[in-house]
Structure 1
Amino acid sequence: MSKAEGGYLRRLVRRLTSDVDELDADDLSERAQSEGAQRACDCACGQEVVVVGRLRTVGQSPKDSAPSLEAELFDGTDGVRLVWLGRRRIAGIEPGRSVKVRGRISVRDGHKVLYNPYYELQNA
């Protein structure tokens, strides 16, 4: 068996035996890498980053507090919290949507955060 056939066989066996969430994470990670984005797990506080992934959750602040919209972006390696201050809703920002974001990473309560990131809604 050639090296190429062995690699194909290994990938096939992995696809057949892996958990669906693992496969989805692998697909997200590969897509982000193909678009030239950084892996979320490699992003450090203070870095200017571009991250591509899927929105897992989207929520807004309570009505009695300052308006803000928060979402969790997952790229297959780690999550990044996105926070838009002064907004309660942004058209197209919804769970399951693929997004490419750009901004400077901060850390809040142990989680990576992008405040008011530039964003592009993706098709897939």
Structure 2
Amino acid sequence: MGGTGRGYWSRLVRRLTSDASELDADDLCRRADAVGARRAADCRSGEEVTVLGRLRSVELCPRDAVATLEAELFDGTEGVTLVWLGRRRIPGIEPGRTIKARGRMALRDGRKVLYNPYYELQTTSA
């Protein structure tokens, strides 16, 4: 068997021995690569970035009389908080949804944040 056969078997063994969260993280990384997005772990504060991932949580956070909608995006490597200022709800922004977001990376309390990112809802198949 050539190199291709060994690659197939090693991928098969990995899929059979990995847990679902590892496989999901691998899938998110592959999808991000396919659409030209960067991995969150590789993004630095101040850079204009595009990330792709799945929303883990979405919540309304009233801060000082200005409502903000915050969502945690996980791309398989690291989490990024997406913050829409002055928004209470955005149709389609819900936990479990895969989105591609673009904006300037910032840090807030040591966590990566995109404020008012441009976003695209992704279909389930990619």
Q: TM-score range by the shorter chain?
A: over 0.9
Please provide the CA RMSD for this pair: 1.2
Structure 1 CA distance for aligned equivalents of residues 6 and 74 of structure 2: 31
Runs of 5+ in structure 1 lacking a partner? none
Structure 2 CA distance for aligned equivalents of residues 64 and 42 of structure 1: 33
CA-to-aligned-CA distance 1:25-52 (integer Å, 9 cap, x gap): 0000000001111111100000000111
The answer to whether the aligner puts 1:12 opposite 2:1 as a matched pair is no
The answer to whether the aligner puts 1:106 opposite 2:101 as a matched pair is no
- Aligned twin of 2:118: 118
* Shift in Å, 1:2: 1.5
Runs of 5+ in structure 2 lacking a partner? none
Structure 2 CA distance for aligned equivalents of residues 88 and 2 of structure 1: 56
Q: Identity of paired residues, percent?
A: 66
Greater Cα offset, 8-17 or 65-74: 65-74
SS in 2 for 1:30: helix
TM-score with structure 1 setting the length: 0.96
Structure 2 CA distance for aligned equivalents of residues 39 and 64 of structure 1: 33
Closer/same/farther in 2, CA of residues 110 and 94 from structure 1, 3 Å limit: same
Structure 2 CA distance for aligned equivalents of residues 56 and 75 of structure 1: 10
Greater Cα offset, 60-69 or 79-88: 60-69
SS in 2 for 1:101: strand
SS in 1 for 2:66: coil
SS in 1 for 2:31: helix
- Aligned twin of 2:25: 25
Structure 2 CA distance for aligned equivalents of residues 34 and 45 of structure 1: 23
- Aligned twin of 2:69: 69
Closer/same/farther in 2, CA of residues 46 and 28 from structure 1, 3 Å limit: same
Alignment length (residue pairs): 124
Structure 1 CA distance for aligned equivalents of residues 79 and 29 of structure 2: 12
Structure 2 CA distance for aligned equivalents of residues 4 and 35 of structure 1: 25
* Shift in Å, 1:79: 0.8
